[in-house]
Amino acid sequence: MEKTLVIIKPGAIQRELVGEIITRFERKGLHLCGIKMYQFTDKVVSEHYAHLADRPFFKRIKDSMMITPVIVCCWEGLDAVRIVRSMSGGTNGREAAPGTIRGDFSMSVQENIVHASDTVENAKVEINRFFKPEEIFEFKPNNFPFVYANDEV
């Protein structure tokens, strides 16, 4: 089943929104298969945001990701990448739709609470960036038959 990576950013750690964010994904029916606290280094954050290396705010977003540890978590489910992106909302918290994480908790483009993988391919790369294989746990939760119909899984 599809997996995706979420990073609960330092702004959310400072504002003590960790439980709120995890609860949203749990309630949706996504399955948590890896989670840990993690301190970014300049090397890893540069790699993670390499697609923004030529932008004027690159150093600023890197610094903001290193202010405190983050929580990295891996969520599993059918279409998990697309669902977690849509639950996270648009990049700019001021424009993100109400009901999304960014729409409900962010007033900023930079300080937008969470990172979520944008494609299945990138999700695989990002999960490998933060987790060793043995830190991702493969098991079927008991609620499975109530989350999905037989013909969906």
Among 13, 18, 44, 61, contact with ligand IDP (rule: CB under 6 A)? 61
Which residues inside 2-41 make contact with ligand IDP, applying CB under 6 A? none
Distance (Å, rounded) from C-alpha 48 to C-alpha 139?
28
**Closer residue to Mg ion, CB minimum distance, 19 or 56:** 56
Which residues neighbour 39 within 8 Å (Cβ) at sequence distance 6 or greater? 66, 69, 70
Return the number of other C-beta atoms located less than 10 Å from residue 108's C-beta. Answer: 14
> Is 48 tagged catalytic?
no
Which range, of 34-42, 54-62, 112-120, 137-145, touches Mg ion by CB under 5 A? Answer: 112-120
Among residue numbers 67 through 106, which ones bind ligand IDP (CB under 6 A)? 91
Q: Which stretch binds ligand IDP (CB under 6 A): 18-26, 73-81, 110-118, 121-129?
A: 110-118
Tokens representing 100 are 């999304």
Query: Nearest 5 degrees, angle CA 68-CA 72-CA 74?
Result: 170
Q: How many CB atoms lie within 10 A of CB 126?
A: 24
Residues forming contacts to ligand IDP in the complex (CB under 6 A) are 52, 57, 61, 91, 109-110, 112, 115, 118
Residues forming contacts to Mg ion in the complex (CB under 5 A) are 118
Active site residues: 115
